[in-house]
Structure 1
Amino acid sequence: MQMNPSKFLFTSCLILGTLITISSNSWLGVWMGLEINLLSFIPLMTNHNNILTTEASLKYFLIQTFASAILLFAIITSYVMSHTTFQFNIEFPYSILIISALLLKMGAAPFHFWFPGTMEGLNWWNCFILMTWQKIAPLILLSYTASFNIFLLCIIMTCTIIGSIGGLNQTSLRKLMAYSSINHLGWMIAALILSDNLWIFYFSMYAFLTASIVFLFNCFQIYHMNQNFLMLTHNPTIKFYLFTSLLSLGGLPPFLGFLPKWLVIQTMAETMSPFLITIMVITTLLTLFYYLRITFSAFLLNYSEVKWNSPLTLNYNLFLKLTTLASISTFGLSLSTLMYFLL
C-alpha cells in the first residue's frame, strides 16, 4: 500500500482512535475513540480505480454508525436510569445492548452479515486491518463488560458454527478469510472470558498468521481459488509456504496455529462445560476441511499453464521474508515445545 501523506495521516488517526478507546476511563471517551477510528478507516478503504471499494466503504460506514448509535443509546439510557457516572458498571439489560453493539462492530456472528461482503470489495492490506486491528478495541471493551452467561455462550457457538459452515462453498479467498476470522472470533471470545492474557496471546498468533498469508496473497495479487493453482505452478516452494500457513491458521498440529487453540482447550476443560469445547473442536475441524480441500488439490494435482502466463520472478529479499514467515508458522510449535522442555 503506497503511503502518501493523506494515508499516513489517516493511518495515524486510526491507531490513535483505538488507543483512545482502550485507554479511556469512561464510556463517552470510548465512543469518541471508536468514532475517530471509524472516520479514519473510511478514507483508507476507498480507491478510485476500484468501484467495489465505494460500496464496501458505504456498507462499513452504515453498519458501524448503527452500532455506535446503539452503543451511545445504551450508555445514555443506563446513565439516566441509574443516576451514576459514565463508568464501566453497566447493569444487565444495558450490558446486553452494549455487548451486541460491540459484536456488531467486530463482525461476530450472528451480526456478521456485513463482514464478508465488505471484505470482498477491499484490497488485501485493508482486509488485514479489518480482520485484526479493527477488532482490538471492541474485544478489549468486551473484556471490561463480559462475563460467562447464556448470551455469550450462544455467541461463541454461533461464531464457530457460522464461521466454519460459511466458508465451505466459497471460491473467493477474501470471503474465505472473512469466515475464518468469524470462526476465530468465537475462540477469542471464549479465551477472553477465561483470561486476558489468553485472548491477547490468541489474538497475537492469529494476527501473525493472517499477516503472513495476506502478505503472500498481496505479493502475487491472488484473490480467487483458481489463481492459487494457475499462478503458483512455477513456484512450488511459494505454494508450499502458502498452504502450510493456511493449515497453520486452521489449527492443524504440529503447526504454530495449534498452540493457542491448545491453550484455550486446556483452560476451558478446567472451567467450562465439555459440550462447548466439543462444538468448538468439531467446527474447527470443518474449517480445516476446506483448508485441506484447497491444499490437497494444489499439491497433488498437476495444472496446465499457458505459455503467455510467464513465471513469476522473486527477488532475494521477498523470498527471504516469505521463508522466514513460513518457517515460523510451520516450526513454531515444535520450537516452543522444545524450548519449554529445555528450560
Structure 2
Amino acid sequence: MNNKFFPSNFLFIMIMITGTMLSLSSSHWLTMWVGLELNLMGFLPLMNIKGKMLEAEASMKYFIIQSMSSSVLIISSVMMYNLSLTWHSMFNNNMITLMMIMSLIMKLGGAPMHFWLPSITKQMSWSILFMMLTWQKIAPLFMTSMMNSNQNVIMVISVMSTIMGGIMAINQTNIQLIMTYSSVSHLGWMLSTISINSSLSLIYFINYVLISMPLMNMLSMSLGNHLFMLTRKNKSHQIITVSLMLSLGGLPPLLGFMSKLIILITLIQMKMIMLTLLLFMGTLISLYFYLNMSLMLMIKSYKTLNNKKPMKMYNLVIIFNLMSSLIIYPMIMMV
C-alpha cells in the first residue's frame, strides 16, 4: 500500500466507521465486542498506508494490545452472562466489572495501561495519529459510560491519566509523543465525569477534536517531528498554532478552558473537591510543555511576524476557539 490514495483505503475507512457505529448503537455486550473487532480490522490496514517497516511494526503492536484487551472483555462478558443470564448491562459482580473497566482502559490508552501508546504513535503519520487519538476512543468511551459500579476505580484512573500524561510529556522532544501524552491527560478529564454525566464527557471530547484537528494539521506542515523544528522556517501559521496550543492546555478564555470549566463546576457541585484539585494539578503540569512549545513558535522563531492568513477550511473552528468565552460561557450560566 505505497500509494496514499489506494482505492481500498475507502473500504477500510467504511469498515472502521461501521464497527464504531455497531458498538455505539448496541446495548448488547457481544455486539459491542463485534463492533470493536470490525473497527480494529478496518484501522490496521490504514496504519500501513505508506508501507514502511516501522508502520508494520506499530500495526503489529497495536493488533496484539487490542486483541489482548478484547480477549479480557469477551471473557468477562461471558462470565457476566453465566452469573446474570443476560448480555445486557447487569453488573452485580465487582471483579467482573473491574476486568471490563481495565480492558476498556487498555483500549483507550489510559494510565496505568498507557505504556503501549507512545511506542506506536511516534511511528505514524499525522492523519493516522489524529484518528487514533480521536475516532478510536469513541466506542470504548461509550462502553465505559455504561458501567454502573466500581466508579471509584474510574475516578482513580482519571486522576492517574491526567497527572501521568502531564509529567511524561515534559521531557519529550518528539511533537507526536507530546500530542500523545496530551491525549492521555485529556482522557483523564473525560473519564472523570463519564459515570456521573456522560453528556459532559461528550462535549469535552467534541471540543478536543475541534482543537486538535487544525492544530495537528498545522504541526504536520513543519519540517520534522522534533521540538526544535518549531524554531525553523515552516509553513504553519504561528499565531493561530499558539492559540490552539494554549487552548489545548486550558488557558482562559479559549475553548479548551471552557470545556474544563463545565466539568469543574459539575465536580464541585457533586462535592468532589479532592478529585477537582488533582485534575487541576495535572492540567497545570501539562500547561508547562504547551507554554514551552508556544514560546518556541513565538519568541525563538525568526519568522513570527510573517503571519499568513489561516486556511479557509479551519476558519470557523479557529473563530469558535478564540471566541468561546463569548459563545459558551453565557450558555453555561444559563444552564
Which one is further off, 320-329 or 272-281? 320-329
Who is 2:178 aligned against? 176
Label 1:65 to 1:202 Cα distance change in 2 as closer, same or farther (>3 A).
same
Deviation digits for residues 141-196 of structure 1, max 9, x if unmatched?
Answer: 00111446331221111111101101000111111011000011110011212212
Query: 8 Å contact 2:239–2:307 — kept in the other structure?
Result: no
Work out which of the residue numbers 28, 45, 70 in structure 2 matches 1:26: 28
Could you list the runs of 4 or more consecutive aligned residues of structure 1 that deviate by over 4 angstroms after TM superposition? Answer: 338-343
After the TM superposition, which of the residue ranges 23-32 and 44-53 deviates more from structure 2?
Answer: 44-53
Deviation at 1:85, TM superposition (A): 1.8
Which letter maps to 1:319? M
How far apart are 1:18 and its partner, in Å? 0.5
CA distance in 2 between partners of 1:261 and 1:160 (Å): 12
Contact 2:94 2:150 in 1 (8 A): no
Q: Distance in 2 between matches of 1:271 and 1:77?
A: 33
Distance 1:293 1:146 in 2: 40
Opposite residue 275 of structure 1, the aligned amino acid is M
Shift of 1:83: 5.0
- What is residue 307 of structure 1 aligned with on the other side? none
Partner residue, 1:266: 265
Q: Deviations over 1:44-77 (max 9, x none)?
A: 0013443211111011000000000101111112
Native 8 Å contact 1:167 1:290 kept in 2: yes
CA distance in 2, matches of 1:72, 1:52: 30
Supply the AA of the counterpart residue of 1:198.
Answer: L
What corresponds to 2:141 in structure 1? 139
**Superposed counterparts of 1:30-45, under 5 Å:** 30-45=32-47
CA distance in 2, matches of 1:31, 1:227: 42
Q: How far, CA to CA, are the matches of 2:319 and 2:115 in structure 1?
A: 35
Cα drift, residue 338 of structure 1: 5.9
Corresponding residue for 1:209?
211
- After superposition, the C-alpha distances for 1:106-133 in whole angstroms (9 at most, x for unaligned) are 1011000111111111101111110011
| Aligned AA (1:257) | G
Residue of structure 2 equivalent to 1:334? 326
**Equivalent residue, structure 1, for 2:245:** 246
Offset from partner CA, 1:182-219 (integer Å, 9 cap, x none): 01111001121221211111110011111111121234
AA partner of residue 89 (structure 1): M
Residue equivalent to 1:64: 66
Pair 272,108 (structure 1): closer, same or farther in 2 beyond 3 Å: farther
Equivalents in 2 of 1:208, 1:215: separation in Å? 12
Which position in structure 1 is the counterpart of 2:88?
Answer: 87
For structure 2, the 5+ residue unaligned runs are none
TM-score when normalising by structure 2: 0.91
Structure 2 distance, partners of 1:179, 1:341, is 32
Q: Does 1:156 align with 2:155?
A: no
In the other structure, the counterpart of 1:308 is none
One-letter amino acid of the counterpart of residue 68, structure 1: S
How has the CA–CA distance of structure 1 residues 313 and 180 changed in structure 2, closer, same or farther, with 3 Å as cutoff? closer
Indicate how the Cα distance of structure 1 residues 332 and 27 shifts in structure 2: closer, same or farther if over 3 A, else same.
Answer: same
Question: CA separation in 2, counterparts of 1:303 and 1:161?
Answer: 34
Distance 1:160 1:339, change over 3 A: closer
**1:24 CA displacement:** 1.7
SS in 1 for 2:98: helix
- Map residues 45-64 of structure 1 onto 2, 5 A cutoff: 45-64=47-66
- Residue deviations 1:13-53 (CA, integer Å, cap 9, x gap): 10000011111231111111110001110000013443211
Q: Which residue of 2 aligns with 1:110?
A: 112
CA distance in 2, matches of 1:339, 1:151: 32
Structure 1 counterpart of 2:275, which letter? L
Counterparts of 1:333 and 1:313, CA distance in 2: 24
Whether contact under 8 Å (1:194, 1:267) holds in the other structure is: no
User: Which residue does 1:280 correspond to in 2?
Assistant: 279
- Paired residue type of 1:265: L
RMSD value, Cα: 2.5
What amino acid is the match of 2:16?
Answer: L
Change (3 A) 1:105 1:339: closer
For residues 205-257 of structure 1, the C-alpha deviation after alignment (integer angstroms, 9 at most, x for no partner) is: 0111111111212344642212211033x76xx11111110110111001111
- Tell me how far 1:313 sits from its aligned partner: 11
Residue 241 of structure 1 contacts residue 322 of structure 1 at CA under 8 Å; is this kept in 2? no
Gap regions ≥5 residues in structure 1: 305-311
Give me the whole-angstrom Cα distance separating, in 2, the residues matched to 1:45 and 1:53. 6
Q: Does the residue aligned with 1:278 lie in a helix, a strand or coil? A: helix
1:15 corresponds to 2:14: no
Give the secondary-structure state (helix, strand or coil) at the position aligned to 2:169.
coil
